[in-house]
Structure 1
Amino acid sequence: MTLNELLKNKLTINGIWIDSYKVDEHRHRFWLESTKKRYKKIRYQTQNGMKEVLFPRHVKVHEILALYIKGLYGDGFFYAPVIESSITNYYLICIKDDCVISPSDTIITESMLAYLLSKKENSEYGSLNITVINNEIFNAIHEEYKNQEKRYRIKSLKIYTSISISIFLFTLFVSLFFLY
């Protein structure tokens, strides 16, 4: 399994990960508020409470690749090669203190990855392990995604069934009430 195959199977990258302590600057706050109007806010659990991420409205929480990496592998500096038409770019995600660091969770060039790796040791992310995401990791993510998708479908089916039965019973009750 590769990243391209995961993305074709509805997993999504490129979220706007919101750090509440970084929302002090007026222009950033204005941009964030205008962006929230066009995107769906999804909340996710961390060790320090709930955090937010913005994705297009059609994305569901179980379709976010970064949350699978965070849940399965924890903190770290992760990257994977993405090859398209003989050009190699890299998917990069950085997770620290159980939070996805913005603006990671994106595709970058090889030179940008080399620059980030060279500067990592002297930064606040120096303690994070570097992991190259290989096919085995992508396979584990895909298996977890299939399990979550199955749970989501069962939960949706239960909700729709209960709503349908409730409407039927209410209609039956109202019909019987007006007949007698």
Structure 2
Amino acid sequence: MERPDTRIHGDERTLLDLFLDYQRATVVLKAEGLGDQDGARRLLPSATTVTGMLRHLADVERSWVAETFAGLPYDRRFGSDDDPDGEWRVTEADSLAEAIADYQAACAESRRILSGRGLDEQCVAGPPAQLRWVLLHLIEETSRHAGQLDVLRELLDGVTGE
């Protein structure tokens, strides 16, 4: 996956969107090329897996952008209020490619919802926050998990790099 060039200048919104898209692309880059078995492999004491991470990040996108910012319902595909960690329960029968595609779809949906929206606009639901805060939170969350994926990928097949 090609990542956007972050060495550009622009206004605040342009740069926030650019850095978020860079981290989104990094997540996909770290997951691509693995098979379903490696995507489901648990290497830590927790339920953390590559496939689970992609599912979680798709849920994060939908939760913060569709539900919290825009007030839209969203389908929590894996898990529920009664099962908040459902996205982390992964087996070798779960498709990593489908998780990647779903994450990319969630990111595209977020871009569509946020297109033309101002950074000072308030969230419709949830805690009182502006779009600016939501974008910063998504950058933080996505970046943190991209780093975890980097380590998982190295442990799985030795691939290192950006």
TM-score calculated relative to the size of structure 1 = 0.29
* Higher RCO (CA < 8 A, seq sep 6+): 2
| Structure number, greater radius of gyration | 1
Structure with more helix by fraction = 2
* TM-score normalised by L of structure 2: 0.31
